[in-house]
Amino acid sequence: MSHEFHPQGLSNLVWAYATLAVFNAPLLNAISAAAIQTISQYIPQALNNIAWSLATLYFILRPLLKSISAAAIRKISEFPSQELAGIAWAYAALCFRDEPLM
């Protein structure tokens, strides 16, 4: 049995914790490490969900945010405006500025 989460599973997990306002730093750090490994596989909605979740929990994970930015730039033509606006909102809420994305 595989103990790996797929991108959608990680995105849904962090979204659920944020929606319930449950802050668990060790879990978020583990999700971050796993997500960074597979960030190129994430669809725009999943990238937005993770950024929104971090902002909602006000937890700044710079390496993950930078990875989200890099993935968003590579997939910019696939991004619906809602997901792009969501990431921009999350970065603003976290006071996180990523020059290449902005």
Q: Structure tokens of 38?
A: 């597979």
Instruction: Please give the pLDDT value at position 25.
Output: 97
Instruction: Please give the pLDDT value at position 100.
Output: 85
CA-nearest of 96, 54, 48, 53 to 68 is 48
Give exposure, 41-56, as e/b (b: 16+ Cβ within 10 Å): ebbbbbbbbbbbbbbb
- Which residue is listed with tokens 């970065």? 91
State yes or no: pLDDT of 4 exceeds 90.
no
Instruction: Please give the pLDDT value at position 3.
Output: 58
For the segment 2-28, the average pLDDT, to the nearest whole number, is 90
pLDDT digits (tens, 9 = 90+) for 84-98: 999 999 999 999 998
pLDDT digits (tens, 9 = 90+) for 26-82: 999 999 999 999 999 999 999 999 999 999 999 999 999 999 999 999 999 989 999
Contact between residue 78 and residue 45 where contact means Cβ atoms under 8 Å apart: no
Instruction: Please give the pLDDT value at position 85.
Output: 95
Query: pTM (2 decimals)?
Result: 0.92
Contact between residue 100 and residue 73 where contact means Cβ atoms under 8 Å apart: yes
